[in-house]
Amino acid sequence: MNFLLIFPILFPIISGALVSLIGFKNRKARNIYLLAVTLINSFLILLVLLNADKIDSLHFMNISKGLPLALSADGMSRIFAGLIALLWPIAVSYAIEYMVHEGGENTFYTFYLITYGVTCGLAFSDNLLTLYLFYEFLTLITLPIVMHGMKEKNIAAGRKYVLYSIGGAAFAFIGMVVVLNQAGTTEFLYGGVFNGLEGSEADIMRMIFVMTFFGFGVKAAIFPLHGWLPSASVAPTPVTALLHAVAVVNCGAFAIIRVIYYIFGTELLYGTWAQNLCLIMSVVTIIFGSSMALKEQHFKRRLAYSTISNLSYMLFGASLMTPEGLTGSLSHFVFHGIIKITLFFVAGIVLCKYEKAYVDELYGYGRKMKITFGAFTVAGLGLMGIPPTIGFASKWQLITGAAKSGGVPATVGILAILVSAVLTALYIFSLIFRAYFPGSGFDNETISDVKDPGLFMKVPLIILSVLIIVLGIFSSYIVDYISKAVH
Amino acid sequence: MTLFMSNFCSIGLSFKADGFRLLYFGVSLFVFLICSAFAKDYLKETPKQLRFWISWIVTFLSTVGLLFAGDFFTCFMFFEIMSLTSAIWVLHRETTGADYAGRVYLRISVICGMVMLYGLVLVKHNFGTLDLEELTKITATAELSKRLAPAILLSVGFGAKAGVFLLHVWLPKAYTHAVAPGTAFLSAILSKAGVIGIILSSSVLGLVGNETWGNLLLILGACTMVVGAFLAVFNNNLKKTVACSSLSQIGFIMTGVACMVLDPGGLAYTGTVLHMINHTLIKTALFIAVGSVYKMTGTHDLNELKGYGKDKPILKAVFAVCGLSLAGIPGFSGFISKNMMHEALDAVAETSALAGVVSVVFTVTGGMTLCYMLKLFICLFEEKGFASKKPAVSVGRQIYSLIPATSVFVTGAAFPLYAKLPSKAVLSEYRNALGILDFEEVFGFGFFSLTVIITTLISVAVGLGLYFLFVRILLIKNNKGERIYGEGLPLWVDSEKYLYRPVFMIFLPFVFAFVARLFDKLTDLIIYFFRKKVFKPLKKRRPVAVGNSFTYALGTVLDKITRRDKKPGRVSYVTSLALFNEQTAAMARMIERSLSLSMLLFSTGLVITLIYMLFK
């Protein structure tokens, strides 16, 4: 059954390339094609997830002796793959309506589909080398869609994105080489590939770990390496929503979790300066991201800063280096994805339909766009972590995990998460206020032609908001699944 | 009766229905039904009713959930939902004031909600469970610091909703600007939910009997009481006065809670619970009455409402009953509860000086209560000058306030009769059912003992004195026989606007934003720097006509000095220097290429090696 793993990676890459080769002229045909491809691929992933017990590592190529490219579907892979399998068809449905306004659709969808395959590859990779390859590939393949508009600001954003990502990956590469040299393997083993390092050797490995952490941290937008993410919000919204809130940035967090728990191992790092450094930087990022989001008036950039903050929740959980921390981190990994994609969808709708890019242009919109802003409110409550939405479940896991682990950085982290929740409430509510309570002197005429978008956008929003509440109520099953899957 | 939903939100909900919860559920349901009827009438022909009704029902349901909560998570969840949906009442009217008040309310709710969540985490971390019953068993033996910290954090959350001192800043604004039925429910039930939460946290975390905790609550209670009464006396807005009166009464209740903690066996429990119920009923009646006044006149300003209620007997009766009951005049239910709390306070004061001071404050604030209610009553019903433009009778709306007011009156007025009943046999059954109200205590209480009569008289004297000597003289300006109610406090007495807001909204964000922006640009700056340095393009040289730039510069200087360029027929230095440079360069090239130079360099190297070897 091992060969199953290759399909979810190859299928979207091939069918993505086909989009350009066929060069669809008929919009309807292309829509059907796109939805079919993504749904089939999600189905393929589902097939892998259901047969995960029968699948073990698939070695399909050796770069050199002892350097295999390998795939497998272990617990973490399944979680990540499941998340993207859920969100990609939804995002494609949204993109179908959105990209009508942007143009250049064939090129866009080519890369959009290929990214699906590459992200799957990253999720299923069984060693650091494979992960690294897909990680670099992901940077390059998403570059054209970040620069899609091909205006000056798009190109500047793309250039920034590539500089940051490649620079970070270089550090990760050094880390990988050192690990390979020291341990002789880069295979993911829960608990780490080293055993019994001591003294200065251990300290050097910790230094290498910190380097790798910040190297991969670029994609997870850890402070001070976050600069590319707000700039990249000039990309079309299906990209910002799916890639810069879920797929690409989660790849960074995913790689970091892999590196901490499966390469270096908590035994080497727990309670050392390296752990404290990671904790401190993620705590700083949590507060920083939320405060910047509060200051930012551009809708999409505000959400981008909020993503920066939330990604660091995951890094914080991962850096706790306890099983509880890992569970919290991965829960937030899944739940934040679902929430943030919804928020970005809303930002994209007002941007492409009414060209409103700033939050203070949205007075009274909630009255007309009932479904859109209803979804925004639900997702906003989720982001704040109000029970019974999913946001609460992961936040609870994180802070109880942190309380259990103890220590100064972890305690400060709890406070940071709570302060950040308050800031989140402020920046989300300021928008909801404007949308629903525009004030006494408001002229209803200005929004007379505002209405909800079409079905391709509405249905994703409805599905996601229902998910946010229903999964929140039944979050214990997901959290249980996650904690069983990784230990 | 218990109900568990174990997997909900990965923590699990649990509900329990026993004595006190059922009692307060009954009270809430009663208030909810009356306010619903009033709201239906009040909101007739206004826009956006659906929004109000949805939030109305959701808030009530979450209040019920909160009351029946069997663990802290359930408590927290319903508390958060309640906070968010009740904010819609405050925002509903969409005026500038309502907008402002709603934002303040939401901000404080959210901030305190998060503090509460931290308390929840601490409880879970310290004791491993959130279930109230299990906690009660465990906490009795735990260390004090493990119990006190979560209790404080939880109480910050609950206290914000109740409007305890320092967290009260939202209350006068939100109550004043909220839509009338909403204000009634906020004041009657939601504030009590906060108080119940505080009682719950102190009893479940084993802090009953703890002196530090008790004194903390006592101080906060006394401050709330005074601040509320103070604000109520000084302002000239009908609804705001009643709102501030709510604040003050919460202070009385908090004092009762403190006595409960300091002297667990005393009268405080029964007194406090009774006062909570009384206050619920009184404020329901008063806010409905105020709402009906607003509906008919469109204003809350006392100056415009002078003599409004002259021909409205129902309104007059409601204000009279509620005012007298609030002030604790014998014959009304407030008299019973207030004096029971006072007695409990005095019992504590025997061993604690602090409680002694608070006892005096209690009496004086009771007087202030009478004073501001008297001020309202005289303004609305005794003054002359209301020019009635609209139909003056609004019995339809006033009538709703009559029901709770009557119950206040009836429980109070009939009370001396109850005392004659053979209490023990009849009431033991009730006591078991309600679980918490000790009726024997109530009936055994000596209401007409000397101390009670004296304190009541002092309180009344203070109240009357304040009204006639202070309010009449200083706050009410006399303008040609017409009284003008002034806004007694200068505008800067608004700690929310002039203290909290600048600190939290301007100062702290400024500092953080400054630091954040600095670091935000840091990496970009580094990258920019490296790009400037690493990718620096070669400097474009100015094309030089002849020679290189050095000879050109030197030649130009020399030309300028000797003014050679001005003289015809002479070759300029620029050219001659360039030629010279070229010749030397050609010579140097020739030498460089020659074998002899190589030999020369080789021998130099050999000599240096030799010297090194010799002197090593």
Q: Which of B7, B84, B107 sits opposite A474 (nearest CB)?
A: B7
Report pLDDT digits (tens) over B596-608: 788 888 999 999 9
Sign, Cα dihedral of B587, B593, B596, B602: positive
pLDDT interval class at B224 (50, 70, 90): very high
Say if the Cβ atoms of A418 and B114 lie within 8 Å.
yes
Tell me what pLDDT residue B488 has.
64
- For residues A234 and A280, membership in a common domain is answered with no
Strands (E), B448-526: 476-479, 482-485
Res. B56: pLDDT tops 90 = yes
Q: What type of residue sits at position B404?
A: P
Domain stops at, among A218, A238, A269:
A269
* Shortest Cα–Cα distance, A36 to chain B (Å): 34
Q: Give the pLDDT confidence of A238-257 residue by residue, as tens digits.
A: 888 888 888 889 999 999 99
> A309 and A286 in contact (C-beta within 8 Å)?
yes
**pLDDT of amino acid B211:** 86
Q: What is the number of CB-based contacts under 8 A between chain A and chain B?
A: 111
* Shortest distance, CA A441 to any CA of chain B (angstroms): 9
Q: Does residue A280 sit in the same domain as residue A242?
A: no
What is the pLDDT, as a whole number, of residue B394? Answer: 53
Q: Which of B99, B512, B527 sits opposite A291 (nearest CB)?
A: B512
Same domain for A71 and A81, yes or no, is: yes
pLDDT of B294 strictly over 90 = no
**Residue B103: per-residue pLDDT:** 87
Select the more confidently predicted residue: B81 or B19. B81
Q: Which residue has the higher pLDDT, B416 or A380?
A: A380
CA B401/CA B380 separation, integer angstroms: 16
Inter-chain residue contact A425 with B522, CB threshold 8 Å: no
Cβ of A403 within 8 Å of Cβ of B96? The answer is no
Q: What is the pLDDT of residues B101-148, one digit of tens each?
A: 888 898 888 888 889 988 988 888 888 888 888 888 888 788 888 888
Compute the distance between CA of residue B388 and CA of residue B167 in angstroms, rounded to an integer. Answer: 40
CA–CA separation, B382 and B319 (whole Å): 13
Please give the single-letter amino acid code of residue A189.
Answer: L
In the block, which residue shows the tokens 């069984």?
A: A126
Instruction: Write out the residue range of the structural domain in which residue A389 sits.
Output: 271-487
| Whether residue A257 sits in one domain with residue A128 | yes
For residues B442 and B272, give the distance between their C-alpha atoms in angstroms, rounded to a whole number: 12
ipTM of the complex: 0.83
How many domains does chain A fold into?
Answer: 2
- Residue B237: φ, ψ to 5°: -120, 125
Question: Does the pLDDT value for residue B82 go beyond 80?
Answer: yes
* Beta-bridge mates of residue B5: B13
When scoring B4, B6, B10 by the number of chain A Cβ atoms within 10 A, the one with the most, hence best to mutate, is: B10
pLDDT score for B59: 94
Q: So what's the pLDDT on residue B429?
A: 44
How many Å apart are CA B551 and CA B580, to the nearest integer?
9
Which chain B residues touch A418 with a CB distance below 8 Å? 114-115, 117-118
- Minimum CA–CA partner of A406 in chain B: B125
Q: Give the closest-approach CA distance of A268 to chain B in angstroms.
A: 26
In chain B, residues 14-73 whose CB comes closer than 8 Å to chain A? 73
| B278 contacts: CB under 8 Å, gap ≥ 6 | B325, B333, B334, B336, B337, B408, B411
Q: pLDDT tens for residues B533-582?
A: 777 666 666 666 677 778 788 888 887 777 766 666 777 777 888 888 88
Q: Of the residues A218, A241, A269, which one is the last residue of a structural domain?
A: A269
Per the CB < 8 Å rule, is B77 touching A388? yes
3-state secondary structure string across chain A = CHHHHHHHHHHHHHHHHHHHHHCCCCHHHHHHHHHHHHHHHHHHHHHHHHCHHHCCCEEEEEEECCEEEEECCCHHHHHHHHHHHHHHHHHHHHHHHHCCCCCCHHHHHHHHHHHHHHHHHHHHECEHHHHHHHHHHHHHHHHHHHCCCCCHHHHHHHHHHHHHHHHHHHHHHHHHHHHHHHHCCCECCCCCCCCCCCHHHHHHHHHHHHHHHHHHHCCCCCCCCCCHHHHHHHCCHHHHHHHHHHHHHHHHHHHHHHHHHHHHCHHHHCCCHHHHHHHHHHHHHHHHHHHHHHHCCEHHHHHHHHHHHHHHHHHHHHHHCCHHHHHHHHHHHHHHHHHHHHHHHHHHHHHHHHCCCEHHHCCCHHHHCHHHHHHHHHHHHHHHCCCCCHHHHHHHHHHHHHHHHCCHHHHHHHHHHHHHHHHHHHHHHHHHHHHHCCCCCCCHHHHCCCCCCCHHHHHHHHHHHHHHHHHHHCHHHHHHHHHHHHC
> Chain B: nearest CA to A437, how far in angstroms?
6
Q: Choose the weakest-confidence range: A50-54, A329-333, B89-93, B439-443.
A: B439-443
Is the link from the previous residue into A224 a cis peptide, with omega within 30 of 0? yes
The tokens describing B519, both together, are 């670091």
- pLDDT score of B47 more than 70: yes
Chain A nearest CA to B277, separation (Å): 30
Q: What is the pLDDT of residue B249?
A: 93
Share of chain B above pLDDT 70, in %: 85
Residues of chain A with pLDDT > 90: what percent?
Answer: 36
What one-letter code names the amino acid at A215?
G
A34, A101 Cβ separation under 8 angstroms: no
- Domain shared by A282 and A263, yes or no: no
CA of A294, closest CA in chain B: separation in Å? 9
Are residues A282 and A232 part of one domain? no
Angstroms from B50 CA to nearest CA on chain A = 13
Check B9 against A477: CB less than 8 A apart. no
Answer yes or no: is pLDDT of A418 > 70: yes
Is the pLDDT at B60 greater than 50? The verdict is yes
Taking an 8 Å cut-off on Cβ atoms, the answer to whether B10 and A225 are in contact is no
pLDDT of residue A189: 84
- Please choose, from the candidates A312, A390, A391, A383, the residue with its C-alpha nearest in 3D space to the C-alpha of residue A347: A383
Contact across the interface for B513 and A227, Cβ inside 8 Å: no
Q: Give the three-class secondary structure for B92.
A: coil
Which chain B residues in 473-512 lie under 8 Å from chain A, judged by CB atoms?
509, 512
Same domain, A126 and A238: yes
pLDDT at B433 over 50: no
H helices present in B128-169, as ranges: 132-139, 144-162
Least confident of A114-118, B54-58, B484-488: B484-488
Q: What is the largest CA-CA distance in chain B?
A: 141
Least confident of A51-60, B357-366, B380-389: B380-389
Residue A432 has pLDDT above 50, yes or no: yes
Rounded to an integer, what distance in angstroms lies between the CA atom of residue B348 and that of residue A396? 41
Q: How confident is the model at residue B416 (pLDDT cuts 50, 70, 90)?
A: low
Q: How far apart are CA B275 and CA B250, in angstroms?
A: 10
Please state the φ and ψ torsions of residue B212, each to the nearest 5 degrees.
-55, -50
DSSP code of residue B302: G
> What is the C-alpha to C-alpha distance for residues A429 and A411, in angstroms, rounded to an integer?
27
Interface test with B, best of A296, A396, A471 (most B CBs within 10 A): A396
Check residue B71 and report its DSSP letter.
B
Task: Judge whether B522 is closer than 8 Å to chain A, CB to CB.
Answer: yes
Q: Which residues of A touch B12 (CB under 8 A)?
A: 476
At residue B386, the pLDDT reads 63
What pLDDT score does B427 carry?
42
Closest CA to A141 of A246, A286, A247: A247
Over 90: is that where the pLDDT of A40 sits?
yes
Q: pLDDT higher for A230 or A449?
A: A230
CA pair distance B119, B166, nearest whole angstrom: 19
Chain B residues closer than 8 Å to A291 by CB? 509, 512-513, 516
Residue B417: its pLDDT value, please?
53
Same domain, A202 and A285: no
CA atoms within 13 A on the CB side of A428: 30
Q: Where are the domains of chain B?
A: 1-207, 221-493, 550-616
What percent of chain B lies above the pLDDT cut of 90?
15
Q: What are phi and psi of B113, to 5 degrees?
A: -60, -40
Task: Indicate yes or no: CB of A399 within 8 angstroms of CB of B117.
Answer: yes
**Under a CB-based contact definition with an 8 Å cutoff, are residues B452 and B446 in contact?**
yes
φ/ψ of residue A101, rounded to 5: -80, -20
> What pLDDT was estimated at residue B605?
93
CB contact under 8 A, A291 and B513: yes
Angle, CA B228 vertex, CA B227 and CA B231 arms, to 5°: 85
Residue with tokens 């604000």: B231
Extract the tokens encoding A369. 């766009």
Residue A437 structure tokens = 């309570």
**The predicted structure's pLDDT at residue A374:** 92
pLDDT surpassing 60 at residue A352: yes
Residue of chain A minimizing CA distance to B518: A224
Distance set, CA B170 to CA B58, B98, B104, B227, B510 (Å): 22, 11, 6, 13, 23
B400: pLDDT strictly greater than 80: no
Q: Does B99 touch chain A (CB under 8 A)?
A: yes
A364-373, A428-437, B217-226, B431-440: least confident range: B431-440
Which residues of chain A lie closer than 8 angstroms to B9, CB-CB?
387-388, 392-393, 472-473, 475-476
Contact B115 A415 (CB under 8 A): no
Spatial separation of the C-alpha atoms in residues B582 and A159, rounded to whole Å: 46
DSSP three-state, residue B171: helix
CA distance B305 to B299: 8
Average predicted confidence (pLDDT) for chain A? 88
Mean pLDDT across the stretch A31-38? 92
**How far does the CA of residue B434 sit from the closest CA of chain A (Å)?**
31
State the smallest CA–CA distance between residue A88 and chain B in angstroms. 26
Integer-rounded Cα radius of gyration of chain B: 40
Residue A301 — pLDDT band, cuts 50, 70, 90?
Answer: very high
Q: Would you say residue A49 has pLDDT above 80?
A: yes
Q: Which of B96, B114, B524 sits opposite A422 (nearest CB)?
A: B114
**Mutation site for A-interface testing, chosen from B121, B506, B519 by largest number of A Cβ within 10 Å:** B121
Q: Is the pLDDT assigned to residue B437 strictly greater than 60? A: no
Q: Let me know whether A184 and A243 are in one domain.
A: yes
Which of A296-305, A447-456, B392-401 has the least mean pLDDT? B392-401
Query: What pTM, to 2 d.p., does this model score?
Result: 0.83
